[in-house]
Structure 1
Amino acid sequence: MKNTVSVDITLDVSCIWSYLAFTRYRRAAARFRDEGGHVDLTIRSWQVEPGAVGGESKLAQSLARFGESGVARVNALAAAEGIPLDFAKALTAGTRHAHQLIAMAADQGLGEAMTARLFQAHFVDGAHIGSLGVLRALAAEQGVRWDETVPVPWAREVTAVPVFRFGRQPALHGGTLSEEALYGQLTVVANARPRWRPACRGASG
């Protein structure tokens, strides 16, 4: 039986690089679990566009940012992951409320599944994930009880996403991390021997 590995992922559900990396992570984690490993996952929130109203064409935004060649590259990467990416249907969105939903779901043991569903809703289904009505419907679909009192674990010292941390290993950055690299981090941390820490213990008095 492998050890439990603490995994900390900072992402935004409107970020395509977060989506690609999170998809690879889920596959790596599934392999790790199939081999008897356990993962203690924390999803930290970060916004690419704080305060964005959204509801506009994601394709237009992506063409402006990446150009036609960049969008074509992203589409090819998504296809390789089996993601039916649809920029033409996708809508821009502010994600503050979506991160609140992830926090609610995580509090109920459903954070990983809810995050994956939000990515799909945004990039594949064309749903406006900045809309509270849409988010409440997605929460009900995933069996998440709506509770806005749950605090959101916002990442503070981050300038871009995604960011992965496995145990006490140095952080890994970027959306091009491979499934093998992510799986390798899980196994390295799981199989690491605990450090020997000499100490004197006794009773006082």
Structure 2
Amino acid sequence: MSHGTLFIVSAPSGAGKTSLVRALLERLDGLQVSVSHTTRKQRPGEVDGVNYHFVDVGDFERMIERGDFFEYARVFDNYYGTSRPAVQALLAAGQDVILEIDWQGARQVREQVPDAESIFVLPPSRASLRERLASRGTDDEAVIDRRMRDAISEMSHFDEYRHVIVNDDFATALADLEGLVRANRSRLERMRDRQGPLLEALLSRNEGVE
């Protein structure tokens, strides 16, 4: 059975990571985004199992004790984590899986899955990033300043990743991201795994030459 690849995608808030991943899912089959677990309250319009797996604190802490998370963190009194069994099941079924996580979570996952493909998405400039954050129209200047400081801190870890994409032109950045996934699928070990019957048929001495 084919075994999928784990892709880690990180970026500062406002760099366009989520939009890129969403567009990539529409262009490629055999690719899924891991749905994180969280203890925060479900918001209007969110769907359990789609946006997050919403669990209570007790359930989350029992999952921690069982070692069920590739990575987890507590943010503003709420837990967030990536389920190890769920991701492993998808990979074993031949699905490529994307984890949208920050640099700290990425570091935890890479320690456990050294062959994971890691990708960092950067904005074209600080000015562009600030403009994107401000365009949401939901935050005042003080909040935007804090988000910019957080973004700069996040971006300082870009060199821990195997690949870096600059999201200046969205179509170009999407093509770059798609190219990374397709290139991974064409690696020799993946081809042997995914296209075993074809390779056997092409090289068989028993087949007639056409």
- Pairwise same-fold verdict (TM > 0.5): no
If you compute each CA radius of gyration, which structure gives the higher value, 1 or 2?
Answer: 2
Q: TM-score range by the shorter chain?
A: 0.3 to 0.5
**TM-score, normalising length: structure 2:** 0.33
TM-score by length of 1: 0.34
